[in-house]
Amino acid sequence: MEIWNNPACSKCAGARETLDEARVPYRLRAYLEQPPSVAELTEVLRRLGARPWEQCRTQEPAAVELGMVDWPRDEASELRWIEAMVAHPELIQRPILLLDDGGALVGRTPEALRAAVDRSPAKQD
């Protein structure tokens, strides 16, 4: 499993703690320092079953400056959203958990974290 991690984020810390307690192995991706490409973020959104505006932190200063809250939320506008999120990775909702089974979750709730643990094929003993 890979976690798109922001070390300053309490939800990311909670995800790491939950996975550590359950002895689920994971890799951290410092997505703020190593932003995804357009293709990577597009694939992650597909795995999440989400549209870009559903995973965008529109209250962040960069989003406010860009006026993203007023951007169209339609198929024709998806690339614009994705490109903005790649250019400003702080806009990407976190933590994103890329599961080894090909799925993905946003690990912001205890329920999502339990699902990630349950779907992990390789807990460490």
Taking the alpha carbons of 25, 36, 63, 75 in that order, is the dihedral positive or negative? negative
C-alpha closest to that of 81 among 102, 54, 61, 104: 54
Active site residues: 9
CB 114 within 8 A of CB 97: no
The alpha-helical segments, DSSP class H, found in the chain are: 10-21, 38-48, 61-66, 78-87, 110-119
